[in-house]
Structure 1
Amino acid sequence: MSPDGAKRQHRRETQTVKRGLRELNTQLALLNRRFGGKFELRDVDWTCLDLIDLHGPLTPTALARTANLHPATLTGILDRLERGGWVIRERDPEAADRRAVTVRALGERNHELYDLFAGMNGRMDELCEGYTPAELELIAGFLHRTAAAGRAAADELA
């Protein structure tokens, strides 16, 4: 294959990957909306809950920055998550400012989430069975770099 032909093929395959990521994004957004409907949580509530779960206890300011939300918007989200028994706001005894709080995910309702996600988790386990450990490592690396590219693009837009 000529160098120009190889470049065209690479561009086509790159476009196929990007199209696949768009399709994945759409399907995950639809799935998250269904999940949220089961617990009467909005998409942004799910996002914040996941960020708290992924990054551990966060201050509301750090969470607002990470989720790219206005602090007043985040207050309403945290109120809903707290009322639903998903998170708790706690005073930070280590902070110089006695008003400082952190937001921590509660584990009491995790079994409900595990039950809800069981179908998707099972499908992902089945899907991953068809790949070698080296292929899974490659896929995981690609996904991590894709997430980093998404964070960088979101930061540029902020």
Structure 2
Amino acid sequence: MEQTQSSDARHRRRAGNEIKAALRDLRIQLALLNHQVGGRLALKDVDLDCLDVLARSGPLTPSALARQAGLHPATLTGILDRLERSGWITRDRAPSDRRSVTIRLLPDRGIEVLRLYQPMIGAMDDVLAEYSSQELELIAGFLRRSAAAGRTATEQISQA
């Protein structure tokens, strides 16, 4: 019985290490893909991050965008200036309070980004087709929990 528990523990540790290694490999591949897409569009990686946050969240205030993208507000100002000059975003001012600004992604430009990511989207659709609905729910839960763990680790480092 003790030998079986020891064998199970070794197996779990090995499987856990393989998952962590695969996540690191995935992070590298996604960073390389983002870098290639950014190069094609003359965007920096951080520009793509901001555009992705806007695409997923919709229009945001600069402070909300900075928070979600993990950027200092002063850093974000330069990024927004660059994205606005390049025609990726617009800054909408509230008529009642000219100091109030909302950042909005221009929809026509988002299509350019999507087109470049299409090969990866199609490849992921092929990968996901191999799993049952129950397995997909398990994987989605694992990824959500992994992202939450990453956010927690990031917050701990930033507060240290």
Q: Give the TM-score, by structure 1 length.
A: 0.91
Match of 2:29 in 1: 27
From 30, 38, 41, the equivalent of 1:39 is 41
Match of 1:148 in 2: 148
Deviations 1:107-155 (A, max 9, x none): 0122212221111111111111111111111111111111111111111
Q: Give the TM-score, by structure 2 length.
A: 0.90
From 77, 80, 89, the equivalent of 2:79 is 77
How far residue 10 of structure 1 moved from its aligned partner, in angstroms, is 0.8
Structure 1 residues 127 and 53, CA, compared in 2 at 3 Å: closer, same or farther?
same
- 1:109 is paired with a residue whose SS is helix
- Superposed, which structure 2 residues align to 1:105-144 within 5 Å? 105-144=105-144
Structure 1 ranges of 4+ moved more than 6 A: none
Deviations 1:44-85 (A, max 9, x none): 111111111112211111222222222221111111111222
Query: Mind listing any 5+ residue stretches in structure 2 that lack a counterpart?
Result: none
Query: Mind listing any 5+ residue stretches in structure 1 that lack a counterpart?
Result: none
Q: Does the alignment pair 1:56 with 2:58?
A: yes
Counterpart code for 1:19: A
Q: For the aligned residues, what is the CA RMSD?
A: 1.5
Aligned pair count?
156
Percent of paired sites with the same residue: 53
